[in-house]
Amino acid sequence: MKTVYTCFCTDVIHDGHLNIIKQAQKYGKVIVGALTDETLIRYNRFPTVSLEDRIKLYKSLDGVDEVVVQNDMLYDDIIKTIHPDYVIHGDNWKEGTTSAIRQNVINLLSEYGGELIEVGYTHNEKVKKIDSQLVEKLSMPEYRRKRLRQLIKLCPIVKTMEAHSGLTGLIVEKTVVEREGKLDQFDAIWISSLCDSTEKGKPDIELVDMTSRFRTIEDITEVTTKPIIFDGDTGGLTEHFVYTVRSLERMGVSAVIIEDKKGLKKNSLFGTEVQQTQATIEEMCSKIAAGKAAQLSDDFMIIARIESLILEQGMEDALARAFAFVKAGADGIMIHSRKKDPTEILEFCDKFRGKDKTTPIVVVPSSFNTITEDELAAHGVNIVIYANQLTRSAFPAMQKTAEDILRYHRAKEVDDRLMSIKDIITLIDEL
Ligand code: SPV
Ligand code: MG
């Protein structure tokens, strides 16, 4: 009997999947592959049910003879093991980033005369609604909040990108790239104080108040599902910080990062060029402890950011603070540096990991930007934050457009580098 293989990356079965099984049955024994969580989060979106439950779900379907786990996005291993006569897939993978995976399957099958069968993708209201319901579930505070902790367990390093509006949130949510046949996307969203302030034309000195910062969070949560890490600056007065923690939890934010500074906070990338005061270890510890005591959900994280390297207080001070902050209840440590060379960051990570194997480490490689995610992960870093690159790329583009329109007294000269009118009016999906 011939074998037919299909890979599912879904938590919910709809008419489209049933149709694939129905078509597959015509060719032989039907084997369904279940993608692992690690692969799903790169390929599609975060699963809402466990791999075990997905396997059970696929097994329960009429017409499915066997379910196997597919570990990798590319089919190499699975095709080598199963050697199916046919692979069956919806025709929706012909275009865009998934087309490389399709091509890889075609190449693999051609090595032994296997065949690819493509069935028309099922577009109907029911399928659309099921998809929207899944997205809705992922965006709910209860589900979204805990996802950062889940990602830290799942990923070698959690890739986090800055957003400061609904539109930039959508870019972080939806950008997927294909490289060497594999898809990749960001895991989480950083709401930067620098970019949130810059967007409002204000300096990054805790001038934009929490009500306004929360409004930015809402703009982003309305159109995204990925977990959010909020830049809480100094956290403000401890008496205020406890309320901030509760509000962030309620909104479904996964983590707040607070830095060990006090008084008038300035952006860390100024370093010692401006007057900045570091809080004492005791002051910071009591703020962390108060935040942890106020927290009501299990999943929310308070991450303590150490400014010792920025303020040139030395490695020993940075490490002493890190251990003290963890002891006070911090769920993670962010270590910052404004050096171009990552050496001091890596030294900190190695020394911290020497004594603490588990507390998540966060870094923001704006200055030390030559380091790769793999290198950071190898030194024990769990979360990397690209803190300001979207803002810094948008600003020069907008500025140049404004200058050229002034220069030429019309808009024709700038048009070639702009998104088309058609694309901008259709950019945002309507219900
Ligand atoms: C931010 O993005 O606002 C940060 C990171 O706090 S940094 O600008 O590098 O201080
Ligand atoms: Mg900041």
Mean pLDDT of 125-138: 92
Give the model's confidence band at 122: pLDDT under 50 very low, under 70 low, under 90 confident, else very high.
Answer: confident
> 117 pairs with which residues across the strands?
88
Q: How far is 257 from 211, CA to CA, in rounded Å? A: 17
**Per-residue model confidence (pLDDT) at position 65:** 98
Summarize pLDDT for 355-389 with one digit per residue, the tens: 999 999 999 999 999 999 999 999 999 999 999 99
pLDDT of 247 > 90? The answer is: yes
> How many CB atoms lie under 10 A from the CB of residue 212?
13
Q: What does the radius of gyration of the chain's CA atoms come to, in whole angstroms?
A: 24
Report the DSSP pairing between strands 383-386 and 176-179.
unpaired
Is 187 one of the catalytic residues? Answer: no
Q: How far is 318 from 315, CA to CA, in rounded Å? A: 5
Closest CA to 276 of 364, 206, 196, 199: 206
pTM listed for this prediction: 0.96
pLDDT of 207 > 90? The answer is: yes
**Per-residue model confidence (pLDDT) at position 365:** 98
Summarize pLDDT for 177-203 with one digit per residue, the tens: 999 888 999 999 999 999 999 999 999
Mean pLDDT of 159-163: 98
Q: Hey, what are 260's tokens?
A: 């060990």
Q: Which residue stretches of 272-339 are H helix?
A: 281-294, 315-327
pLDDT of 167 > 90? The answer is: yes
Summarize pLDDT for 256-289 with one digit per residue, the tens: 999 999 999 999 889 889 999 999 999 999 999 9
Q: How far is 203 from 267, CA to CA, in rounded Å? A: 9
Whether residue 384 contacts residue 373, with contact meaning beta carbons closer than 8 Å, is answered with yes
- Mapped onto helix, strand or coil, the DSSP state of residue 140 is coil
Closest CA to 341 of 368, 314, 307, 313: 368
**Per-residue model confidence (pLDDT) at position 195:** 98
Give the mean pLDDT of the chain: 96
Q: How far is 16 from 175, CA to CA, in rounded Å? A: 25
| Ligand 2 centre distance from Cα of residue 199 (Å) | 13
Q: ∠ at Cα 371 (367, 374), nearest 5°?
A: 145
Q: Is the CB of 333 under 6 A from ligand 1?
A: no
| Ligand 2 centre distance from Cα of residue 192 (Å) | 5
- The CATH class that applies to domain 3-130 reads alpha beta
Query: What's domain 140-387's architecture?
Result: Alpha-Beta Barrel (3.20)
| Ligand 2 centre distance from Cα of residue 203 (Å) | 11
Burial class (CB in 10 A: 0-12, 13-18, 19+), 238: middle
Burial class (CB in 10 A: 0-12, 13-18, 19+), 259: buried
For the chain, give every domain's residue range.
Answer: 3-130, 140-387, 393-426
Closest CA to 173 of 155, 194, 157, 159: 159
Return phi, psi of residue 331, to 5°: -90, -5
Summarize pLDDT for 327-358 with one digit per residue, the tens: 999 999 999 999 999 999 999 999 999 999 99
Residue with tokens 């929706």: 92
Q: Is the CB of 267 under 6 A from ligand 1?
A: yes
> 319 pairs with which residues across the strands?
none
Q: Which of 204, 231, 260, 299 is catalytic?
A: 204
Q: Is the CB of 269 under 6 A from ligand 1?
A: yes
Q: Is the CB of 192 under 6 A from ligand 1?
A: yes
Contacts of 223 by beta carbon, 8 Å cutoff, 6+ apart: 166, 169, 170, 173
Residue with tokens 């004492």: 280
Closest CA to 203 of 270, 257, 253: 270
> How many CB atoms lie under 10 A from the CB of residue 140?
12
First to last CA, the chain: 45
Q: Hey, what are 168's tokens?
A: 């930039």
Contacts of 277 by beta carbon, 8 Å cutoff, 6+ apart: 261, 262, 263
How would you classify residue 28: left for phi > 0, otherwise alpha for psi between -120 and 50, otherwise beta?
left
- Among protein residues, the one with the nearest Cα to ligand 1's atom 2 is 192
Q: Hey, what are 415's tokens?
A: 């048009």
pLDDT of 78 > 90? The answer is: yes
Contacts of 215 by beta carbon, 8 Å cutoff, 6+ apart: none
Q: How far is 296 from 397, CA to CA, in rounded Å? A: 43
Strand boundaries in 316-426, DSSP class E: 332-335, 361-363, 383-386
Q: ∠ at Cα 112 (28, 103), nearest 5°?
A: 90
| Ligand 2 centre distance from Cα of residue 317 (Å) | 21
Q: How far is 115 from 31, CA to CA, in rounded Å? A: 15
